[in-house]
Amino acid sequence: MDFSLNEDQRAIQDMARAFTADKITPEAHKWDEEKIWPRAVAKEAGDLGFGSIYVSEESGGCGLSRVESVLIFEQLSQGCPSTAAMISIHNMATWMIDEFGTEDQRERFIGDLITLDKMASYCLTEPGAGSDAAALKTKAVRDGDDYVLNGAKAFISGADESEIYIVMARTSDDGARGISCFIVEKGTPGLSFGAQEKKLGWHSQPTASVMFDDCRIPAANLVGKEGQGFKIAMAGLDGGRLNIAACSVGGAQRALDEAITYTKDRKQFGKSISSFQATQFKLADMATDLEAARLLLYAAAQKVSNKEPGAGAAAAMAKRLATDTGFDVVNNALQLHGGYGYLMDYPIERILRDLRVHQILEGTNEIMRVVISRDLLKD
């Protein structure tokens, strides 16, 4: 058992940290305030390999493990959790094509995705199918050499910005076994997008409904076989949960660092508030809780990489703990800033708004408890 990073992992971590400090942190406030998706910066991230972190080397990706992935997203999110999360979703969707797609699909789609010249979005959630994902109603009906899709997806990150959409649709009425996975390209007739959602956070990335109205796609865009879609969707979410957990850890680390600096500088009653034991104990608890979440995340990432038994439950544990802890740490950092923490002049309130949704997406933390308990109670 080794809790230290190897030389290559430290180098990857340092590269992500330097990129964040140079390209993300200085602009994050503007992206949030003006609701800008920083496409050019995302492309620069792609040039470093951050668009294909765990896509296989055979397909042109980096071929790294989930451990390196969480290291990267932990650093990117210290600058902007919203931007880091969008790149995370792109990685998940791109990996799904690489892992479950055909050679033809890899050749047609992967090349532009790994460089982030094109972006990919993940389309599972529907207005009536959130936590009960297997209840989705979007249909795909075979018609000769095509499938025709009808239905709608909700809360899709990258909607109308991404060029590729990984879509879960029903090909039979057999519950979860009746769901299949498809690749839909932007510009396909019948594909349209709703108005951009007005959100609490995640302002740097677009979020909207994705709609299919007799949207005809080639049968060659079916990923895997009919009926394998739910399995593919859940496999993607294991990695997605790790990445979003990493975004929470990174955002919380930034908030903790900001709180340490602020409490050293802020003076009340004739001395720095960091000299008060109440402040010191609060910072100590924040750091301890965050480190515990980080270590669980790294361990879960290793299990998912090694495809160990119980890896899905480990990813759920890491997601649940890291996102709950991350939000609590940021909330405590805001409290330590007092009234200043509530102002947009400081990054704390932006991080707080961005991290709140992490407890909801990629499976709510209540669903994470369902996943964990099922694993504990299985025969």
CB atoms within 10 A of CB 43: 14
Only one residue has tokens 């602009």, namely: 27
- Rounded to whole angstroms, the Cα distance separating 1 from 358 reads 30
Q: Which among 297, 251, 316 is positioned nearest to 82, based on CA atoms?
A: 251
Cα Dmax for the chain: 79
- Rounded to whole angstroms, the Cα distance separating 187 from 4 reads 47
Instruction: Give percent helix, percent strand, percent coil of the chain, each to the nearest 5.
Output: 60, 15, 25
Buried b (16+ CB within 10 A) or exposed e, 330-362: bbbbbebbeeebeeeebbbbbbbbbbbbbbebb
3-state secondary structure 60-108: CCCCCCHHHHHHHHHHHHHHCHHHHHHHHHHHHHHHHHHHHCCHHHHHH
Report the amino acid identity of residue 355: L
Only one residue has tokens 């009234």, namely: 339
Q: Tell me how many helices (H) and strands (E) the chain has.
A: 12, 10
Catalytic residue among 68, 161, 258, 362: 362
Report the amino acid identity of residue 292: A
Q: Is 362 a catalytic residue?
A: yes
> What Cα–Cα distance (Å) separates residue 120 from each residue in 79, 185, 252?
22, 9, 27
Give me the half-sphere count of Cα atoms (radius 13 Å) on the Cβ side of residue 100: 26
> How far apart are the two ends of the chain, measured CA to CA in Å?
29
Catalytic residues: 362
